[in-house]
Amino acid sequence: MEKKLNRIAPLAFLGLFFVIYCVALFVIFEAASASLWIGFIFTVLAFAVTGCIIWFKAPVLLNAYDQVYKAPAVFAGGAYAVIAMVLGMIAAAVPAEGIKWIVLIELIVFAAAAVVIVLALSSSKAAEQLHRKDAAAASELTVMRNVLLSLADSAEDPDFASELRALAEVFRLSLPDVKGKVAGYDSDLRGKVASLQAALAAHDEKAARGMIPVIRNLLNARNRACKVG
């Protein structure tokens, strides 16, 4: 429902502005000149482009991340629509002999708007892919951290539980492997955490305690490698 409102509300405002623009244009400039219609056609194009951007992008603007990386395309479309309205009004007042200049200016503005919008959409896509990689990498660390916290909650020895929670905190503060530089470390860490879990399942607390410094040293080495380059 929230996504639907995120789409319908800006489209409704866009439609309202378009109606107001049409009324003002054809009331102020009663003589429907060729230049008026050229400006009007480019304005309709601008509103159509903006409407498409809103339809596909506005529903995702629900959190701070999306507003930072995905909103620029929506704002670029809106700015283009406003500029097109202004140019449409100017075009309506231009005499017939100035039509070629109106067409030239409208084409330049359209090309510039297209470049800005495409760049905004491209950067949004790249940021989204990076965000997904970051989220996937972070979730893997979170899984291992949650395993350690679960083991800490079930540990009978308070000191051992504290060691497990301290190790889990190191996982929480670790950098996600966005670029795949430390995939080998992460694979080893999964194996070590699984071994610790298996040792506790076999009631071999001594072996489990011995795994804690091994995992911590491996995790620290992994984090140092993640920061390099």
Are the beta carbons of 61 and 85 closer than 8 angstroms? no
Residue 220, pLDDT score:
85
**Over 60: is that where the pLDDT of 221 sits?**
yes
> What b/e sequence results for 148-179 when a residue is b if at least 16 CB atoms lie within 10 Å of its CB, and e otherwise?
bbebbeebeeeebbebbbebbebbeebbbbbe
Cα-based torsion angle of the residue sequence 97, 102, 105, 107 in order, rounded to the nearest 10 degrees: -120
pLDDT, the chain, mean: 79
Are the beta carbons of 155 and 164 closer than 8 angstroms? yes
> What b/e sequence results for 80-114 when a residue is b if at least 16 CB atoms lie within 10 Å of its CB, and e otherwise?
bbebbbebbbebbebeeeebeebbebbeebbeebe
What is the Cα–Cα distance from 78 to 58, expressed in whole angstroms?
12
Largest CA distance in the chain: 93
Q: How confident is the model at residue 100 (pLDDT cuts 50, 70, 90)?
A: confident
Residue 89, pLDDT score:
86
What is the Cα–Cα distance from 222 to 115, expressed in whole angstroms?
41
34-76 pLDDT, tens per residue? 888 888 898 999 988 888 887 776 654 445 555 556 677 778 8
Total H helices, total E strands in the chain: 8, 0
Mean predicted confidence (pLDDT) in 191-209: 86
Q: How confident is the model at residue 108 (pLDDT cuts 50, 70, 90)?
A: very high
116-138 pLDDT, tens per residue? 888 877 776 655 655 555 555 55
Instruction: Choose among 73, 77, 83: nearest CA to 108.
Output: 83
Mean predicted confidence (pLDDT) in 176-186: 67
Are the beta carbons of 177 and 183 closer than 8 angstroms? yes
Phi, psi of 207 (to 5 degrees): -65, -40
Q: How confident is the model at residue 114 (pLDDT cuts 50, 70, 90)?
A: confident
Residue 5, pLDDT score:
57
Q: How confident is the model at residue 31 (pLDDT cuts 50, 70, 90)?
A: low
**Over 70: is that where the pLDDT of 30 sits?**
no
What is the Cα–Cα distance from 111 to 122, expressed in whole angstroms?
16
Instruction: Choose among 63, 102, 58: nearest CA to 77.
Output: 58
Whole-angstrom CA distances from 13 to 6, 19, 80, 108, 229 are 12, 10, 15, 26, 47
Structure-model confidence comparison of residues 107 and 120, the more confident one: 107
